[in-house]
Structure 1
């Protein structure tokens, strides 16, 4: 993976780590921290649907993949609608894992690129899932 891809991927973790830390240092209230965390999580989850939308169009695969590309945006939006329920953080976390698994078996990348991409995604998704667990711990 190009350095810029890794750098941007790691930078994308900042809000996931910053919100629980901001609460821990009394920089934000727990409510503010949880809401900002959930909002960022929902928006970023939508990004992964966009990857499949692009992959579907660029490889002229207009079937299941194009429809599933909308799933992360819909899940993210529903989690925002039901943001008062702490279970939505669990739904978001599981959605990141699900889209990672779907990426592994669906994306049309050359073999070397898909291995690098999935390896990077596993590392980043692991931090995302741990951050969700941390936020769930804080609010329960």
Structure 2
């Protein structure tokens, strides 16, 4: 796994960690912290759909994977529309787990990359899900 992929993956966790802390330390209001968290989460979730879009194009597999690649973007957009509801945090969290499972069974990466990629995704997704749980705890 390229160092830059690991570095950028870890760097992508910063908003998930910073935004709950920003409320705890009174840097942002609860409303701002939760809204920015949901916005970042929805945008990042959409990114994972792009991984499958590219994989389907690269493999010339214009099948269900191409359509499923759009689901994270649609779900992310709906979460933005309903961002005033705390349930959105749970939906986003579950989507990260769902996309990870789907990645494991559908991506056509070389064997040398798939183990490292999935290991990295498991670690990152674990932190992301825990941060969503933390934000749910703060909001409720």
TM surpasses 0.5: yes
**Range of TM-score over shorter length:** over 0.9
Tell me by how many angstroms 1:109 deviates: 0.6
Tell me by how many angstroms 1:115 deviates: 0.5
| Alpha-carbon distance between aligned partners in 2 of 1:116 and 1:81, rounded to the nearest angstrom | 35
Match of 1:87 in 2: 87
Unaligned runs of 5+ residues in structure 2 are none
RMSD over equivalenced CA pairs, Å = 0.4
Match of 1:101 in 2: 101
Q: Deviations over 1:31-69 (max 9, x none)?
A: 000000000000000000000000000110000000000
Runs of 4+ in 1 over 2 A off after TM superposition: none
Match of 2:138 in 1: 138
Match of 2:117 in 1: 117
Instruction: Give the TM-score normalised by structure 1.
Output: 0.99
Unaligned runs of 5+ residues in structure 1 are none
Tell me how many residue pairs correspond in the alignment: 140
Match of 1:41 in 2: 41
Match of 2:27 in 1: 27
